[in-house]
Amino acid sequence: MLTADIATYEVAPTAEQTGSVVWMHGLGASNHDFDDVVPLLDAPGVRFIFPAAPTRAVTINGGMRMPAWYDILAFEDPPRREDAEGARDSERLLRGVLERELARGVPSTKIALVGFSQGGAMALHVGTRFEQALAGVGVLSGYLILPAHFAAERHAANQQTPILFCHGINDPTVPLQLGRRAYDTVNAAGYPAAWHTFPMGHSMCMPEVDVLRDWLGTCGLRG
């Protein structure tokens, strides 16, 4: 399926629909990466939508082309870390996915954005800028991109939207301090944010799935 120039894979609800979750994968990954997680979330009324990132050259990987929401220019902190133009292009694509859900009759307050790693960074980027209140934003092993623009670009519509941060304490790919810095920034800005850590690397674990499942219920998406 193509939506606003982006391919998506969907898992349809098996009960009366209670909402939608738009879930972004990480760098170089697939939009089928979390197929096995969906049944564990016990959310039969949720439509899960998995967009596929565009294929682009990634500087830190020697210019190799792979699915990426934006180019990562360096491992250092901003301003050199991420390609702003690529991030904004992906923001436009993901807005298209959200707009399609709205057009399908799903209220914005029944739509959550979730992402892992680079996808988590995009969930946070789009969710805090979207002009309609969302059910929640889930940042799994993610971080804050374009931090210098956060204060000026965030939209008041999602000031009260719950934001979940989950991170592995042994993450070698997205260091724990990057995730914590994102949480601290969002928390200081007054968002209702929650921070959870797990004894894992750059991955997911069952205790994290349990937290995510409960959080979806708190967001009103599990009926």
Catalytic site positions: 117, 171, 202
Are 108 and 102 in contact, with CB atoms under 8 Å apart? yes
What does DSSP say about strands 64-67 and 111-116: parallel, antiparallel, or unpaired?
Answer: unpaired
Specify the residue for token string 């937290």: 211
Which DSSP string corresponds to 88-140? HHHHHHHHHHHHHHHHTT--GGGEEEEEETHHHHHHHHHHTT-SS--SEEEEE
112 to 132, 172, 188: CA distances (angstroms): 12, 27, 22
Are 93 and 86 in contact, with CB atoms under 8 Å apart? no
Are 120 and 151 in contact, with CB atoms under 8 Å apart? no
Ordered strands of the 111-116 beta sheet = 2-3, 6-11, 46-51, 19-24, 111-116, 136-140, 163-168, 193-198
Q: Which helix (H) or strand (E) holds 211?
A: helix 206-218
Beta bridge partners of 58: 64
Contacts of 192 (CB under 8 A, 6+ apart): 160, 161, 162, 163
